[in-house]
Amino acid sequence: MSALKLPKKDENVVQTGEGCCGGPAPEGVAACCVKDAEAKAIGEEGYGCDTAPVQASTSPSACCGTTSSQPPEETSVAISESGASLSNAQSNDSVRQAVRQQYGRVAAGDEGCGSGRGGYDAPMANAAIESQRLGYTAEDVRSVPSGANMGLGCGNPQAIANLKSGETVLDLGSGGGFDCFLAVRQVGDSGHVIGVDMTPEMVSKARDNAEKSGYQNVEFRLGEIESLPVADDTVDVIISNCVINLSPDKPRVFSEAYRVLKPGGRLAISDIVAFAELPEVARQDMTLYTGCMAGASMVSDVEAMLRASGFTEIRVAPKDESKSFIRDWAPGTDITEYVVSATIEAVKPAT
């Protein structure tokens, strides 16, 4: 297996918002660097930095209580060949914040699906065409409210969900509501669909889509998939499309899924999994992480997490044909030598 190739970027370019003591803070966060953002995320005043993001130059100014032009040794960062940088002690909350901000920009239309997949100058994709590449039909695409389909995902969980009239469906990472609106057609007026997303812009977009189109039995809740705003034993089917790989705490996601499913309830998920160990340089690349690649778990690890949560009838089926579109997410890299889309199915025992 060859080492992962990442495209070279101009080493003299420093990203907007990059602090001198721990890498760039996520855009739009009132912090000058990652360590300052992490401190504020857990309720501390900060890490000694200015409270506003800084416009960095190739000669860092004083930051975090030091006037040195070099970062302190204990706050060194890992810098990948792609130019992205992460604190060695990157926290789960910082990862979530980066993901939230990335997909907030997608929801706002500031970035298209290609750039939302990792920022490697991937071409803008037409959402309708992209969704059909993922396995949806032209009728699926036409049937949802305008703006619900953003071409995001890595498969079609509807194809394996076998939804029935009257069922309650939960979509983890519901985005603009595309899969939720498709599920409503399957469960009918007697069913109910719940979408959960941690990005406020996505939830607002989905709610607006539902209201404009007159949907009565679908709702969208703001929340994290590691701590679902859903009661115990209330859901028949959980669907999700290319979202769980973005979680920094996947065991917790599967435990929460098990909690909210009714006995006999089932998972029907499309997600990115790894079939070879990703190099550390890729794991530490936030561009690849928010692009749904660097956070992929090995197939055996996914199966183990599902078993540990209590699931049975576990089936993880990689789809080699998915490499054709994953390759477009990070042009110029060898990412398809490591990751692939897969369907993930499991059942919560009836007793």
**Segment 267-289, tens digit of pLDDT:** 999 999 999 999 998 888 888 99
Centre a 10 Å sphere on the Cβ of residue 59 and count the other Cβ atoms it contains: 8
210 and 319 co-located in one domain: yes
Q: Do the domain assignments include residue 1?
A: no
Q: Do the domain assignments include residue 51?
A: yes
| 274-307 residues labelled b (16+ CB within 10 A) or e (exposed) | beeebbebbbbbbbbbbbbbbbbbebeebbebbe
76 and 131 co-located in one domain: no
78 and 167 co-located in one domain: no
Strand boundaries in 283-333, DSSP class E: 297-298, 312-319
Domain final residue, candidates 89, 109, 135: 89
**Residue whose pair of structure tokens reads 């994709």 in the numeric block:** 125
Q: What is the pTM of this model?
A: 0.72
135 and 263 co-located in one domain: yes
**Ramachandran category for residue 198: left, alpha or beta (phi over 0 → left; psi -120 to 50 → alpha):** alpha
Q: Do the domain assignments include residue 322?
A: yes
Domain extent, residue 82, equals: 34-89
77 and 157 co-located in one domain: no
138 and 76 co-located in one domain: no
pLDDT tens track for 158-208 = 999 999 999 999 999 999 999 999 999 999 999 999 999 998 989 999 999
Please say whether the dihedral angle defined by the alpha carbons of residues 254, 258, 260 and 262, taken in this order, is positive or negative: positive
Q: Do the domain assignments include residue 49?
A: yes
**Ramachandran category for residue 217: left, alpha or beta (phi over 0 → left; psi -120 to 50 → alpha):** alpha
Centre a 10 Å sphere on the Cβ of residue 35 and count the other Cβ atoms it contains: 27
Q: Do the domain assignments include residue 209?
A: yes
137 and 216 co-located in one domain: yes
Q: How far is CA 125 from the centre of its chain?
A: 18
55 and 198 co-located in one domain: no
Mean pLDDT comparison of 20-24, 77-81, 93-97, 232-236, highest-scoring range: 232-236
- Is-contact 173 196, C-beta < 8 A? yes
- The total number of structural domains that make up the chain: 2
Residues 6+ apart with CB under 8 A from 103: 116, 175, 199, 201, 202, 290
End-to-end Cα distance, the chain:
44
186 and 38 co-located in one domain: no
131 and 212 co-located in one domain: yes
Going by pLDDT thresholds of 50, 70 and 90, the confidence category of residue 305 is: very high
173 and 38 co-located in one domain: no
CA 273-275-280 angle, to 5 degrees, is 85
Q: Do the domain assignments include residue 220?
A: yes
338 and 240 co-located in one domain: yes
Question: 11, exposed or middle or buried, with CB in 10 Å at 0-12, 13-18, 19+?
Answer: exposed
Q: Do the domain assignments include residue 328?
A: yes
Task: Output the domain CATH number for residue 341.
Answer: 3.40.50.150
Question: What are 261's strand-pairing partners?
Answer: 235
pLDDT tens track for 73-111 = 332 223 233 334 444 335 788 888 888 888 887 777 745
Examine the pLDDT at 63 and tell me if it is beyond 80: no
Q: Do the domain assignments include residue 112?
A: no
